[in-house]
Chains A and B, each alone.
Chain A
Amino acid sequence: MSDDLITYAGWGRALRATGELRRAHDPASLKAHAPAIGNRRSYGDAALNSGGAAVEMTALDRVLAFDRDAGLLTVEAGLSLGEIIEITAPHGWLPAVVPGTGFATVGGAIAMDVHGKNHHHAGSFCQHVTALTLMQGAGPRRLTPADGALWRTTCGGLGQTGIITQATLSLMPVRGAMMLVTEQRARDWDEHIALLDGSDASFTVGWIDATATGATLGRGIVEEGEICRGIAPRLKAAKTVPFDAPHWALGKHVVKAFNAAYYHRVPKGGRSQVRALQDFFFPLDRVLAWNRLYGKRGFHQFQCVVPLGARDALRDMLGTITASGLASPLAVLKRMGPGRAGCLSFPMEGYTLAVDFPNRAAARSLIARLEAATTAAGGRIYLAKDALSSGAAIKSMYPEFPDWAKAARAADPEGALQTDLVRRLELRT
């Protein structure tokens, strides 16, 4: 065991931890003595363990079985979803759900029960997991959806029931490995919501200009995608951000100008283009370490979901955001379906809004107000993104929390798997 302490951060880089990182190289010798982490794509502190150890899982990344007829893929939990696409797409299969980054690992995708741009049809990630293996204190344990409470505590369960070592994914058959992407301008909030509601595409997502105010509040681009056949252009090599940008790099006027250009890039009448799958699923992965654009203080992402009937409350929240002048270019609006697999899974049928803010005092107090508005609207915030909430707020948003807490206690009675997020939100006390 290494006794080197290192300082590491969540994707938002606003929260950090100092502790021991042990890379797992051999699944047979893995012990559930410390929480597991993957590629650390959770924004806040879900993958941090200050003062303790964390097991870094990314070297456990083998494909253990790939049934090309049935579309069943069994992998070790450290494999990333982007790599899975590269392995399965040439054979006509894709993961049924992928989040906005291909760097997320399978273990992380399960622990957060992530969703994608097809959530309204396909549901959440764990709804397509047919089995998984947990390393618990007593040894390895295979779980399936038939395991009831433990399954629902593990899916979206923040890694608190054991270290997820393997999973079997039920893949989605596809007739090609390209995406036909249709982009349309939405001139304001009502048009944006109408386009999202009216979309019958397999993949739908809205980019929102969170600097547009007044009559143009809520304007943006609605992207719809359908998988198609085609010849993939060679992906250009990913670029990286080599240093922390100064704090003014994403200042108000820069963002406003960028957003206006981004909006007008799509012609008035809309357009359709064929793109590589990865470009559609993971547009930001082409810029490695883009989180450094926010400077060394890092950033926060606020993501909430509110029920369908609370769309006006969501519009008011967007109004609060635009009035603050704090938003970055990254703002997403999407209609979600009801699909979710676990007690602490984020999705609910309704609309989800995600906006990035540089980590400053004004942004933190704005996020607190948005969180209160979310609670009032009967919605909830996403634990994969959260860095600022409180235990009381989260417990009120997730009505199945008591069931989760009970099963987590039974699965990890010593509390060895607690993370900074779990302690901050007092989820295990």
Chain B
Amino acid sequence: MTDTWIILGASSTIAKAFTRSVAQQGAAVILAGRRMDDLEANAADATARGAAQATPVAFDARRPETFDGVLHAALASGGRLNCAVFVGSMPPQAAIDADPALIDGTIADSFTGPARLLQMLAPHLAEQGSGAVVGVGSVAGDRGRLGNYVYGAAKAGFATYLSGLRNQLGRSGVHVLTVKPGPVDTAMIQGLGKQPFMTTAEAVVADIHTALRKKRNTLYTKRIWWPVMTVIKLIPEPIFKKMSI
């Protein structure tokens, strides 16, 4: 049976690299996102690179009425279902300070939108008794930092959600992988200056496939972020609140 990968946020740089990697293995891909022209180009690319089928579908994490369409397209493909979540948005903290209403969209993009879709998908995954969910969070979700704590809070919520989903679906043989990338050379961080321990989308995707093969639960990529975040998590709050890292 061929695999079907639902790819949420399929226009993102990491999603594009992930789509190619599963296309080369002959999977069917459901490319879900907001920009149909871009998704159609990604679908053509996936087909040329070996995807059994590539279907662009309109999906907006902030509009739950779009979720059914994604699910239908995936079920119609007839393959074994898998889902990879690459949605998320990171408005500058200063913009959120100026307009607190931006919080709703940030939380919907990174947490509640994909969580609701995964919840709709969960019974189907449980029924097939196999398959995988890849949820991309961020090292920013490990601690509330001065520069991006709303984004971090959304990613933290999503990580906790994935941990629960793993607990549930793991019992039926479905693997849930939480990915926590540090800065990746993508459009999202363009303009933020030089970032520590930067990696590339291709390297993140290679790490994701290794982690899936080894059935890892949580993946830090680059791996250096695991010790770094472990230390950061250990800093006592009275000290951390005075730091700006």
Q: Which residues of A contact B (CB under 8 A)?
A: 1-4, 22-23, 25-26, 28, 59, 62-66, 76, 87
Q: Are B13 and A25 in contact (CB under 8 A)?
A: yes
Nearest chain B CB to A105 CB, angstrom units? 15
B32-60: contact bitstring with A at CB < 8 Å (1 yes, 0 no)? 00000110011011011100000000000
20 A-B pairs with C-beta separation under 8 A: A1-B190, A2-B191, A3-B193, A4-B194, A23-B185, A23-B190, A59-B13, A62-B41, A62-B42, A62-B44, A63-B44, A63-B45, A63-B48, A63-B49, A64-B44, A64-B45, A66-B44, A66-B47, A66-B48, A76-B41
Residues of A within 8 A of B186 (CB): 25
Q: Are A64 and B41 in contact, CB atoms less than 8 angstroms apart?
A: yes
| Chain B residues whose C-beta falls within 8 Å of the C-beta of A22 in the assembled complex | 190
Closest 5 interchain pairs by CB? A63-B48, A25-B187, A62-B45, A66-B48, A63-B45
Assembled-state Cα–Cα distance A59/B17 (Å): 10
Interface 1/0s, chain B 119-136, versus A by CB < 8 A? 000000000000000000
Interface residue tally for chain B (C-beta within 8 Å): 19
Given contacts A65-B44, A66-B44, 15 further A-B contacts (CB under 8 A): A1-B190, A1-B191, A4-B193, A4-B194, A23-B185, A23-B190, A25-B13, A26-B38, A59-B13, A64-B41, A64-B44, A66-B47, A76-B41, A87-B48, A87-B49
Write the nearest CB–CB distance from B10 to chain A, whole angstroms.
Answer: 12
Contact B49 A28 (CB under 8 A): no
Point out the residues of chain B lying under 8 angstroms from A3, CB to CB: 193
Q: With A and B bound together, what is the CA distance between A26 and B193 in angstroms?
A: 19
Give the distance in Å from the alpha carbon of A66 to the alpha carbon of B37 in the complex.
17
User: Which residues of A are found within 8 Å of B193, using beta-carbon distances?
Assistant: 2-4
Instruction: Return chain B residues, CB-CB under 8 Å to A87.
Output: 48-49
CB-CB nearest in chain A for B13: A25
Instruction: Report the bound CA distance from A59 to B188 in whole Å.
Output: 14
With the chains together, A64 CA to B16 CA distance in Å? 14
Complex Cα distance A112/B49, Å?
27
**Residues of A contacting B192 in the complex (Cβ-Cβ under 8 angstroms):** 2
- With CB as the reference atom, state the residue of chain B lying closest to A25: B187
With most chain A CB atoms within 10 A of its CB, the pick from B16, B45, B185, B190 is: B45
Select the residue from A3, A28, A63 with max chain B CB neighbours within 10 A. A63
Which partner residue on chain B sits nearest A74 by CB separation?
A: B44
Residues of A within 8 A of B185 (CB): 23
